[in-house]
Structure 1
């Protein structure tokens, strides 16, 4: 796994001090590739093409490239890693340089959470020509996005980006030499930085070693168009920006083509009339406008809203220009493609209203063009004619110099594979046409391409061949679980990798050595069912089989399905699973499964009609020897009195043959918790009523009991719920119920930790010493973790209000509690101390002693956010799985990762440093701007105290202190500067405090 050097060092220190984290790296259970295709590619002079993309196959987002040829070969074998620094690198652009190499530029988040600009140069063999990690083009604080790049005539490039170093968004640029040296001011020169925003732009070499750029200027909701020219030294060659168009209304989406003789044609969408039209203009190197005020390419000046949008332009071999745009004249809902060719004199060469390039059903969008060698062009686009979104396909056409379609009318199909294909790009090398696109035919994103002759003959198989493919989607929160087996653990989750076809349930076996038994990223519990599967629940049988149940939307109404997995991972109930009922109610939800006395017990909430209304009742099914024992539709568990049939019941837990549910009675506006133990025939067990047992006999106007959970005990079952009684604060109450249905504690229930505060997210662990639970305690809007233990007779063992596991000025959530065989505990949680939440854990002894650092030990502090740890204990080891956002970028992408934690807390190595000499607190405030205070306590004086600040690359940023300090508490302020007192950029930093015995490191975030 790719790791930040400093963070890895920190993790190893923790291991050395506590001997608890047993795997050097977290294990990826489900890690997607999540390709982002940015239409980045270029032709090569040797009859090939190079494509560039970003993906997360190493965890965080990196940049990759591949070269393909006209024979279908991946020329470089495996893709070339362009950059793999920490955090993410994305949104690449590529250009071929005058020395027949290639520069790739991208937005880089390794040093700044807002993004910087970096670049790398490669040769035709894929060798990196500049320093590893790329050349920093702009690392100034503030956001840099939206790259544009063109070559100079000496092996270098011009790079333009949108920059927010000022309050508005401006255009800045840098000129890199062939060796990667910055030829202009560090962090770039302003290209357009007036009042308002400058974002969308188009740029080309000027043929004289400089460049010309045109851009959209937005101010007070008005868009105008301007152009500037710069020489290779960064000097603007015109006295002022040339106004391309500042007419009333909005002018935007400007594009440019370079003709011969130092002339440039611009086209744009123009709303000076009722709706956007397509206009054009030509300028020369002196900045003169050569076509009057403007040239109308196409305009409708009537009252109907039939816009023309998003023009593209390409220079033709006969020194004309072809313009293609999205046009709504024939269909106000779906765009068609129209085209026009203009001469260098500004004469429209085709029909005055343009020619229809494609008017097929639904929309045609996103055209891209490349000239042929005979005055025409090849064009490719995304086409929805075959069923509308998400059935996008790729089509192409060859237009002659006279505007004649030389391939099939309305375009030649390039790829019509299932699902979505989009983001098409066309390049030409050695008279071979290369077309590539993003492709989701297999459910996840891949990059495919096709090569064609000028006659339109494909050189590869129908629908093209794969350049690269990888798993997309993620693991939704709250839809995964971990269970122990005899010698490993099984992890089960909902997976969105086949989003177009439907989410599915996957599983994986994780071994004690950190290896997995099944295929990478898991195995599905069914084949495709063309519908979403969600809310999985599972149980492991004594012979290590796994019964899994879930809500399944394969039909018109969601129903509950189940699958039995063999000990070696094979489907035993068919490739589609089994439906638990023959009936098809409007919905079945809340599926649960348990194992008891040789049978599998299932439960769910079942929608049922009563008069004109629908209510949920609890149903169950028992399966023995693969046979349904309670009839084709199961049995009713939540039997209601005749006068309460309008009560709604929702299942929350199923332990052995105990069903636990919440019941809402609208007649008296109450919510209550019920438990029922059932016999093998589905009836109530001896001692239990058909209605079940109400966990608490409390009955008043504030009877609001909700969200129960349960765990088995040696005497029966413990039930916990949130309760509003008396103070209208949701805190936890509980009840212990015997096997024969007797309440063992106060019939009203027990207020488990009456702290007069809101409580939620309880996690239960029962062992031979008692019933323990941990929860989130809301203290003035901030949640901390607490724990309490009860004896089986109902005595609180850890004080009346419980003990704090963690208490600090930040929120902790998603607590997970588990018990080791020696009756000690491990508790883990999500900690929101910084802007990116991490996972922490802590040991609790059998008698409630909190072990280790008071702030908890780091379970995982990888970049981005980690959520919802869940724990299974096997022998004397805890296996913890969580949702991990290290692949996140523009959107959050969650994978599944796991770690193994020892149940042993003692330090066996006498030479290991003691934690007692040094205690480091989290900096405050965090995140911070412009300064933060770092505090620590020395339990003895030291002659060698060092306090260093590091960045994410592990580079020393600043030494705050190096010298002697007495024992006691100390405070140091860091003002966000480096050793030269220059301000550093936004991002994640680490501070390291060390003396002769100890070293501790913590993370902090600078956010300007």
Structure 2
């Protein structure tokens, strides 16, 4: 169930803030990152972040992640580190000297940068972009799309690089996809605590019809475990916009968009796997409604072994009417059975898209999204908590009580200008 009402994430509201990503830190707090236009003082995009307590209360002000400004920094991904901090990756459109490059910055649990931002891709020829990061005990792994990389005979390939918690490379960058015919891109990565991980991506033409979703598992040393394999069973049309999450017990679940499969323009589908990469059951449709299209799914594991999937639906609301888009979420148990129907996340009849989801402990989670008008100036970032209110407490407004006598408030001249009182303090 929803806990508290939907709340704005970004403080700076000029122009556009969009494309959120979320991670939950070791202490239960979480970080939302996003792309913001013109906020860094130049007419370009930058990456910004806001930290929150586990119950969604902001901790400190929002802050800029990228040190370099003047170029465009976009498409942020974020992962919690086992040391208590977090790492953010993004695409810079010019810094590596040859088109786009992937950069990263490590932070401690207080949001203080640890060292300088650093380039992830070793190969700088042409374009490196669309990064995804996942962490494990002692380190993290970054994946990205590479265009015209000399190590791949096709135009696009998927590459990866492992790091320790301090951001030191562990080995060199490596190609993930075995098949190099046509194009492999749009990667996502999820990791287990022991350092094993799985990478998924979009491959054009490989499944015989449009694009398909493929995966490759890796062991704790970063060595491929078995070969790459196709995730989607239904191959007509295109399957893409895939995301992956590791589950309790070492398995994982993949979600993706499938065009035309549910009879509408697009639907959201999922497939579960055990720790050995063996499919558990068959692929299944996540969205209940097939009116309009379902796009941009994301998924998070829950403590009970299940998971929650979020997506946005174009031109549909729960009443079956409306010309706007809404974000939805649906929960599943450890056996992959839905525990209820799809739930509308977003409260407003605006254009809401780009959902992201993260697990807050127990069976609680947070969903963030982009709203096109609500913050008063272009796109803005909003969030909604789900779970049990007693597990996500917020401090009540303090009251004076349990005393005898008289309390006197005297006037004290501090300066001659009006003073701001904290918004949660009221004098009656």
Fold shared, TM-score > 0.5 on shorter chain: yes
Aligned to 2:159: 226
Aligned to 1:376: 306
- Give the structure, 1 or 2, with the largest relative contact order (CA under 8 Å, sep 6 or more): 2
How far the C-alpha of 1:422 sits from its partner, in A, is 3.7
Q: Which runs of 5+ in 1 are unaligned?
A: 1-42, 62-87, 455-1008
Q: Distance in 2 between matches of 1:433 and 1:190?
A: 30
CA contact 2:306–2:335 (8 Å) conserved in 1: yes
CA offsets 1:114-169 (integer angstroms, 9 cap, x no match): 455566767676453xxx88467422653333222223233433222212122310
Q: 1:311 aligns with which of 223, 242, 266?
A: 242
Aligned to 1:278: 213
Alignment of 1:150 with 2:83, yes or no, is no
- TM-score, scaled relative to structure 1: 0.33
CA contact 2:10–2:50 (8 Å) conserved in 1: no
How far the C-alpha of 1:315 sits from its partner, in A, is 1.6
Aligned to 1:341: 272
CA offsets 1:321-361 (integer angstroms, 9 cap, x no match): 1111111253676001211101111111112xx11223623
How far the C-alpha of 1:247 sits from its partner, in A, is 2.0
Q: Distance in 2 between matches of 1:318 and 1:169?
A: 37
Aligned to 1:53: 10
CA offsets 1:581-608 (integer angstroms, 9 cap, x no match): xxxxxxxxxxxxxxxxxxxxxxxxxxxx
Q: Distance in 1 between matches of 2:210 and 2:325?
A: 27
Alignment of 1:250 with 2:250, yes or no, is no
Aligned to 1:593: none
Between stretches 308-317 and 369-378, larger displacement belongs to 369-378
Q: Distance in 2 between matches of 1:235 and 1:309?
A: 32
Aligned to 1:98: 26
Aligned to 2:131: 201
Q: Distance in 1 between matches of 2:355 and 2:179?
A: 32
- The alpha-carbon distance between structure 1 residues 193 and 389, as it changes in their structure 2 partners (threshold 3 A), is farther
CA contact 2:101–2:119 (8 Å) conserved in 1: no
Aligned to 1:954: none
How far the C-alpha of 1:443 sits from its partner, in A, is 12
- The alpha-carbon distance between structure 1 residues 377 and 229, as it changes in their structure 2 partners (threshold 3 A), is same
CA contact 1:202–1:254 (8 Å) conserved in 2: yes
Q: Distance in 2 between matches of 1:243 and 1:189?
A: 19
* Secondary structure class of the residue paired with 1:168: coil
Aligned to 1:191: 121
How far the C-alpha of 1:421 sits from its partner, in A, is 4.3
How far the C-alpha of 1:199 sits from its partner, in A, is 0.9
Aligned to 2:194: 261
Aligned to 1:217: 146
Q: Which has the larger radius of gyration?
A: 1
Any residues of structure 2 matched to 1:786-935 within 5 Å, and which? none
Q: 2:285 aligns with which of 356, 360, 371?
A: 356
Alignment of 1:297 with 2:223, yes or no, is no
Q: Distance in 1 between matches of 2:48 and 2:357?
A: 26
Aligned to 1:736: none
Any residues of structure 2 matched to 1:198-597 within 5 Å, and which? 198-208=128-138, 210-219=139-148, 222-271=155-204, 272=206, 273-292=208-227, 294-299=228-233, 306-330=237-261, 334-351=265-282, 354-358=283-287, 360-383=290-313, 384-386=315-317, 390-408=323-341, 411-414=342-345, 418=349, 420-429=351-360, 430-432=362-364, 434-435=366-367, 437=369, 447=382, 449=384, 451=386
Aligned to 1:830: none
* Secondary structure class of the residue paired with 2:141: strand
- The alpha-carbon distance between structure 1 residues 187 and 327, as it changes in their structure 2 partners (threshold 3 A), is closer
* Secondary structure class of the residue paired with 1:346: coil
- The alpha-carbon distance between structure 1 residues 329 and 112, as it changes in their structure 2 partners (threshold 3 A), is closer
Any residues of structure 2 matched to 1:44-193 within 5 Å, and which? 52-53=9-10, 55-56=12-13, 60=14, 95-99=23-27, 109-115=39-45, 126-128=58-60, 134=63, 137-139=66-68, 141-163=70-92, 164-165=94-95, 166-178=97-109, 182-184=113-115, 186-193=116-123
How far the C-alpha of 1:382 sits from its partner, in A, is 1.6
How far the C-alpha of 1:392 sits from its partner, in A, is 2.3
CA contact 1:137–1:182 (8 Å) conserved in 2: no
CA contact 2:329–2:343 (8 Å) conserved in 1: yes
How far the C-alpha of 1:452 sits from its partner, in A, is 5.3
Q: Distance in 2 between matches of 1:122 and 1:432?
A: 15
CA contact 1:203–1:213 (8 Å) conserved in 2: yes
CA contact 1:53–1:92 (8 Å) conserved in 2: no
Q: Distance in 1 between matches of 2:166 and 2:348?
A: 49
Q: Distance in 2 between matches of 1:416 and 1:154?
A: 36
Q: Distance in 2 between matches of 1:257 and 1:179?
A: 24
- The alpha-carbon distance between structure 1 residues 146 and 328, as it changes in their structure 2 partners (threshold 3 A), is closer
* Secondary structure class of the residue paired with 2:286: strand
- The alpha-carbon distance between structure 1 residues 370 and 135, as it changes in their structure 2 partners (threshold 3 A), is closer
How far the C-alpha of 1:225 sits from its partner, in A, is 0.8
Q: Distance in 1 between matches of 2:254 and 2:357?
A: 16
Aligned to 2:422: none
Q: Distance in 2 between matches of 1:198 and 1:110?
A: 23
Q: Distance in 2 between matches of 1:403 and 1:320?
A: 12
* Secondary structure class of the residue paired with 1:350: strand
Q: Distance in 1 between matches of 2:368 and 2:73?
A: 28
CA contact 2:136–2:194 (8 Å) conserved in 1: no
- The alpha-carbon distance between structure 1 residues 375 and 152, as it changes in their structure 2 partners (threshold 3 A), is closer
Q: Distance in 2 between matches of 1:319 and 1:133?
A: 34
- TM-score, scaled relative to structure 2: 0.71
How far the C-alpha of 1:397 sits from its partner, in A, is 2.2
- C-alpha RMSD of the superposition: 4.0
Q: Distance in 1 between matches of 2:375 and 2:21?
A: 26
